[in-house]
């Protein structure tokens, strides 16, 4: 199962996320749920890194499926929008495939 926690601040802005695990929807290389989550998460990080000048911290581990991402102070509205877009996509995957494969939780920091 892929467990994703999205962190929001007191202004209800999504500023960080922690993603870990593998969906196990199908065999490795055939797992469309894992692939979909990976594409959304990696594209969000790459877009913030390439298209914006926002600074962030990231820790990754491909074996465990870990991507731990957090924006640093001074983040832009565009970065927040990209993370909101990520959340929208992840909610769609969770709705389509269920919580046996993807769990999405929100925590205020």
Tally of domains within the chain: 1
pLDDT digits (tens, 9 = 90+) for 57-94: 999 998 899 999 999 999 999 999 999 999 999 999 99
In this predicted structure, the answer to whether residue 2 has a pLDDT above a threshold of 90 is yes
pLDDT at position 65 is 92
pLDDT at position 100 is 95
> What's the burial of 96, exposed, middle or buried (CB within 10 Å: 0-12/13-18/19+)?
exposed
pLDDT at position 57 is 98
Residue-number span of the structural domain to which 64 is assigned: 2-108
pLDDT at position 28 is 86
pLDDT digits (tens, 9 = 90+) for 18-57: 999 999 999 988 999 999 999 999 999 999 999 999 999 9
CATH assignment of the domain containing 33? 3.30.70.1490
For residue 85, the number of C-alpha atoms closer than 13 Å in the C-beta half-sphere is 15
């Amino acid at each position: 199962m892929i467990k994703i926690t999205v962190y929001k601040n007191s202004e209800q802005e999504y500023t960080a996320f922690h993603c870990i695990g593998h969906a196990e929807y199908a065999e490795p290389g055939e797992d469309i749920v894992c692939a979909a989550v990976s594409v959304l998460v990696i594209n969000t990080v790459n877009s913030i890194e390439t298209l914006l000048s926002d600074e962030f911290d990231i820790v990754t581990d491909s074996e465990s499926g870990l991507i731990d991402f957090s924006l640093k102070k001074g983040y832009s509205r565009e970065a927040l929008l990209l993370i909101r877009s990520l959340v929208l996509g992840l909610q769609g995957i969770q709705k389509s495939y269920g919580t046996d494969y993807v769990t999405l939780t929100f925590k205020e920091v």
